[in-house]
Structure 1
């Protein structure tokens, strides 16, 4: 039985049993525990608290260090993860600092951050004199001792033109647990992202699936997209040998720097939050199991409040996190919802804002009031978008012609990613991009009659397309449902259909599993991860076909209006057979 208050790290959000755990490996390095707090709590000033000072400067020479001709940049924000300081006329700042603090610059519009060879932005300095605690016995290396705090912690920026119209690639949950699956990421989503012309990209958690040794190769692959790529951690990026949240991001910090941070681009504020609050090893399991909840925590909320205090109220704010603020799967589970979302939403109230998340391997849109509840249909509210997972159903499903798992998500959305489009630094849209479907379709259209998933066991040679398409015997048309999965649909989307030139008929949004994906998992059970099953989808529309459709071939057209009012069109051929001409009995 699964503990519904928390989820183990290798358990799925559906509450499946934990998978087999890998053996322990080499130890990390030394430190001290602190009271539980939100992820990144190791950054809190505490024992040994003092001050850090430094300069944010314009790196005119491109040397990566301040030269004699590099002026300081005034009015730039710098943070220790809680407090925020603004640089003076000479570019200098001062902040409180403790024995475990990450100091980072908040890039302003019109400047670029330095990047490494894999296009990972470098904007933070980790002050952890003792390094990662040796007693943790981390499987994946944490931080080496950083030594005494430098006399000046400086950050160099370069001038860069940034327009108010730009795009951002939004990945979540690529989640490869092997080199083979990392190849799937490379040959699907990353390949589709090449040439999109985005300003930058981000991955909102579960960069990997527990094996943190894959970070270097993952970074080399993503780096070839050729744009800055930001990362935040998911529950599968944790060091779960840690007893609590404080040291649960040691490997992530070594690879990427600050686990939560912010930056401006094109007049928009991006807040990158780590809301996977690690609670330690699960009771009765080996050290490679763990529990967590969705929680932003007091420290990060103080950081958000401080940054917003320095940000004009008409500035668009985009918040990225891993665990959704709210999900349709189980709105009461702290393992897949953010328990303190109300505190964040109250800080964002009155500002134009969007938040994005992943984690659930579903695609969802929610509109929330300042208390974190869904608003009435048509009412204004904060838009929270749960993104399509790059890995779909954790790389489950039969292989395609390339040998890559088809990976349809458990709500029926083909695996993929989203692109955020900003217009005039004030308005936005998102669009779904399938990672493997060359047709780029935005919906799946099915005909559902007497078929039952268990029939697959006795009909091993029946194609799924035959089970959910034409032909339909004339006497069965009135008992057939049209089912449309609008992959990126939500509560503001509308779907309608018509047969031939007949009148348009509205379809009803229902919460139910996608029958195609349910059948796919049943037919190809040996190709999926053990916990994967079809879950109720938030973007299914249905309608019963009218009786009396004449035998023959008819064009069945579908029109869908998405969350942003954009129109999508698709259709199928509805073939209706008369009694004598039917080639066989339809199941």
Structure 2
């Protein structure tokens, strides 16, 4: 047995570097726990019965982790790795293979080892006792060809607090995705705040999302933790029971996905209230380091998290691990507005090119606030003036692009144009036209033209409040006997542009066109009609 362990680690050291064979650090705040050696086989489950039959071969060179160390399976698919009494052993899915899914389409790529189960005393149940370590922890996988180019659906903050809000998600977003059928996504990811503190809502939401019919991965958010847990170590026990490890990685096609837990929970301590902050911690950082050391330098790395990267305390250590790679992108949610951030030297990033971080649109928008529409669903407009919804991210080798999909609207609803209904001819030179391009960034090229004639004129990006959101908030507050939760305060939006009308427009109706081209060459357009009149005397 000891010789097998030694051989596995020697193989790692020879193929990659001596830095791979790190010992697993202790959990923060834990006493040293006795370790055991977990072993098993990763095998080709050809008949998909999730049981290894005599003729089913092991799969070599599959990565297996205990949350810190990573080992590779040998030529027969076998692995050995140390675990303590609170560990999760999981496989890192390689390209062209799939792991089993449960009835809720959640990937089953892990084994939880908690002999005594989760500690009692929390409102929502954790992991039941798993008993002694099995003689063999085996992981079935099936072959599945994965193309170079594929799509993934990204949900930010569905965040239902009750069944009524699960139903909002079903009718506002999930039915839309199912009806489209053209999304053709390989899998989906929820970027944290799966629910809103009531962890019992995870089950009905999972069942609803499963109707989309594709594998669905999950990121832990600050509203997905056991808020009565005394520390971060015990805060994700319910999440683990339902979804498995709070951080992990997998390959799909030529792309490597690294799912992070960047919520550090602090239980109530004396007079200090329970709270959280953005952070990764040493054990997770050890996993990230070991994980990335096994990934070719030119492979696209996609980091998925909840708290935006610039809000993570120990991000500088993470920066050092990814900033020399030519292809990385990260995606979060949490803020309830959409934004593209390009992280550079001002935040300590030392890479040659700035790092692209996407703050994704949220499913619940502004926490399901605002007046209800004819379906009985709050309009939930986000504080940047953008609609609630989801994103479709497309990957193609080292390239990627992101498209916003607004909930309850057609896919071409990508901006709001603000201009007066009527403009006096004498005021043309001072009349401002604004466009809120929901998925825009400072790298977008936004331009304007009138009546499909002349050259497109570039517009200037400004940092302003969305006019429609401000107006709606004002109108809602003025209404008596409101039966809904009013909108939050407006957020200054970094994706509003302004321009001016031509001064020679004739009397009558005119068509304003706005065009936005993103850094990846994708273009969206919209129109608005205004009327020009001679000035009244």
TM normalised by structure 2 equals 0.89
Q: 1:439 to 1:202 in 2, by over 3 A?
A: closer
Counterpart of 1:88 (choices 45, 70, 74) is: 74
Query: Is 1:494 aligned to residue 448 of structure 2?
Result: no
Do structure 1's residue 341 and structure 2's residue 315 form an aligned pair?
yes
Residue 464 of structure 2 corresponds to 512
Partners of 2:398 and 2:364 in 1: how far apart? Answer: 31
Aligned counterpart, 2:257: 270
Paired positions, count:
503
The correspondence for 2:155, drawn from 163, 171, 177, is 171
CA distance in 2, matches of 1:375, 1:573: 47
Aligned to 1:387: 360
> What corresponds to 1:290 in structure 2?
274
Tell me the CA shift for residue 246 of structure 1. 0.5
Q: Report the Cα distance in structure 2 between the residues aligned to 1:294 and 1:277, rounded to whole angstroms.
A: 6
Say whether the 8 Å CA contact 1:394–1:529 is kept in structure 2: no
- Alignment match, 2:144: 160
How big is each residue's C-alpha offset from its partner over 1:130-166, in whole Å with a ceiling of 9 and x where there is no partner?
Answer: 21112xx211111111111111111111111111111
- Report the Cα distance in structure 2 between the residues aligned to 1:312 and 1:533, rounded to whole angstroms: 45
User: Which of the residues 423, 442, 447 maps onto 1:472?
Assistant: 423
**Are 2:231 and 2:266, in contact at CA under 8 Å, matched by a contact in 1?**
yes
Structure with the greater relative contact order (CA < 8 A, sep ≥ 6): 1 or 2? Answer: 1
Distance in 2 (alpha carbons) for counterparts of 1:283 and 1:574: 62
1:402-413 correspondence runs (5 A): 402-413=375-386
1:374 and 1:511, CA in 2 relative to 1: closer, same or farther beyond 3 A?
farther
Q: Which moved more, 1:310-319 or 1:437-446?
A: 437-446
The 5 Å alignment of 1:59-208 reads 59-134=45-120, 137-194=121-178, 195=181, 196-208=183-195
CA distance in 1, matches of 2:145, 2:469: 45
Of 399, 407, 429, which aligns to 2:401? 429
Q: 3-state DSSP class of the match of 2:498?
A: strand
CA distance in 2: counterparts of 1:149 and 1:534, whole angstroms: 53
**1:505-543: per-residue Cα shift (whole Å, max 9, x none)?**
321111121111111122123466467111111111123
Question: Partner of 1:558: helix, strand, or coil?
Answer: strand
What is the TM-score of this pair, normalised by structure 1?
0.81
1:398 Cα offset (Å): 1.5
Note closer, same or farther for the CA distance 1:354–1:481 as it changes in structure 2 (3 Å cut): same
1:568 aligns with 2:520: no
1:323-402 map, 5 Å:
323-326=307-310, 337-351=311-325, 352-369=327-344, 372-373=347-348, 380-402=353-375
Match of 2:12 in 1: none
Map of 2:9 onto structure 1: none
1:494/1:560 contact within 8 Å kept: yes
2:207 is aligned to 220
Q: Contact 2:361–2:390 at 8 Å: present in 1 too? A: yes
Pick closer, same or farther for the CA change 1:246–1:50 going to 2, 3 Å. same
How far 1:579 sits from its partner (Å)?
3.6
1:247 aligns with 2:241: no
Measure how far apart 1:213 and its partner are: 0.8
- Specify every segment of 5 or more residues in structure 1 that has no aligned partner in the other structure, as ranges: 1-33, 327-336, 448-468, 582-587
Instruction: Assess, with a 3 A threshold, how the Cα gap between structure 1 residues 280 and 192 changes in structure 2: closer, same or farther.
Output: same
Aligned pair 1:578/2:534, yes or no? Answer: yes
**8 Å CA contact retained: 1:249, 1:259:** yes
CA distance in 1, matches of 2:421, 2:413: 20
Name the residue aligned to 2:498.
542
Task: State the Cα distance separating 1:272 from its structure 2 match.
Answer: 0.7
For 1:529 and 1:203, locate their aligned partners in 2 and report how far apart those are by CA, in whole Å: 24
Asked if the contact 1:173–1:203 (Cα under 8 Å) also holds between the matched residues in 2, the reply is yes
- Choose which of 469, 477, 484 in structure 1 pairs with 2:435: 484
Secondary structure of 1:524 counterpart: helix
Are the counterparts in 2 of residues 240 and 281 from structure 1 also a CA contact under 8 Å? no
Q: Per-residue CA shift, 1:52-87, capped at 9, x if unaligned?
A: 111111112322122212211110000011110100
SS at match of 1:541: strand
Q: Partner of 2:232: helix, strand, or coil?
A: coil
- Cα separation, partners in 2 of 1:405 and 1:282, compared to 1, 3 Å: farther
**CA RMSD after TM alignment:** 2.3
8 Å Cα contact 2:27-2:283 kept in structure 1: no
Out of 406, 410, 414, the residue aligned to residue 442 of structure 1 is 414
